[in-house]
Amino acid sequence: MRILVIGASSGLGKAFVEGLTASGHEVIGVSRSVPVWCNGRWIAVDFSEPKVAVAALEDALPGPLDVLIWNLGIWEPTAFSDEYRFEEQDDSAVEEMLAVNVTGLIVAAKAIVPKLLGSGAPKVIITGSTSGLPRSGRPEVTFGATKAALNGVADALREGYRDQRLAVTVLQLGNLNTEDALDTPRVTAAARGEGELIPLHDVVDVVKVLLENSSSSFVRELIMPAIADKRF
């Protein structure tokens, strides 16, 4: 499969590129800049200006695609810490989060989904967050709102392209262990955080399974919290 991963320079995005390439897929990475570890196909665009980013992305794409993985997302500077205060958030940072996390996805999907439809089993996989689920227990207003919006985008895409069998999956992920890359043994990565962090290996393997699905089924939404996350 030819897979486009948007938000691929580090953490889970890097794991997607490495893990799916190792499985024999052709993977094209997209991020603000080309990472030093890249040894494959890469497109550098900045989604803080979504329309400009998508125009440049379209010019650089090599042709038809099979899968779009949207892994891009930013959050408040003090998110997930005791220092977070909603009333102290900078308005420009709020606007940038909305542009990158929501507008970016919509504008990118509008341009890229038509390039998927010639595939035998076209797929869009969106990495969301448990922070966007109802009663998530998280106070980060803008981040939570942008992640909650992803299901609305996914639902509409499914209905708009149901006749073309476009499978759209939202992965609602809990806290990830981004310190241990795929070259770290899974058992070692799983031990970090004592059950409060999800190894990247687990998420990559879930995506590998999704890629194997036929055009006659899809996974609508998958909620994947850490085992020790008491919110779930």
Q: What is the pLDDT of residues 64-95, one digit of tens each?
A: 999 999 999 999 999 999 999 999 999 999 99
Q: Looking at residue 52, what is its pLDDT?
A: 95
What does the alpha-carbon distance between residue 127 and residue 7 come to, in Å, rounded to a whole number? 10
Percent of the chain with pLDDT over 90: 95
Which residue ranges form the domains of the chain, and what is each CATH number?
A: 2-224 (3.40.50.720)
- Residue 101 to residue 79: CA distance in whole angstroms: 15
Which 3 state secondary structure label does DSSP give 89?
A: coil
- Please check whether residue 67 is in contact with residue 117, taking contact to mean a CB–CB distance below 8 angstroms: no
CB atoms near residue 130 (< 10 Å): 21
- pLDDT digits 0-9 by tens, 130-187: 999 999 999 999 999 999 999 999 999 999 999 999 999 999 999 999 999 999 999 9
> Is residue 171 classed as helix, strand or coil in its secondary structure?
strand
Q: Which amino acid is at 20?
A: L
Contacts of 177 (CB under 8 A, 6+ apart): 189, 190, 192, 193, 197, 198, 199, 200
- Indicate the pLDDT class of residue 210, thresholds 50, 70 and 90: very high
| Mean pLDDT in residue range 199-207 | 98
* C-alpha distance across the termini of the chain, in Å: 34
Segment 48-60, tens digit of pLDDT: 999 999 999 999 9
Dist CA 206 CA 170 (whole Å)? 12
User: Among 105, 215, 209, which residue's Cα sits nearest to residue 154?
Assistant: 105
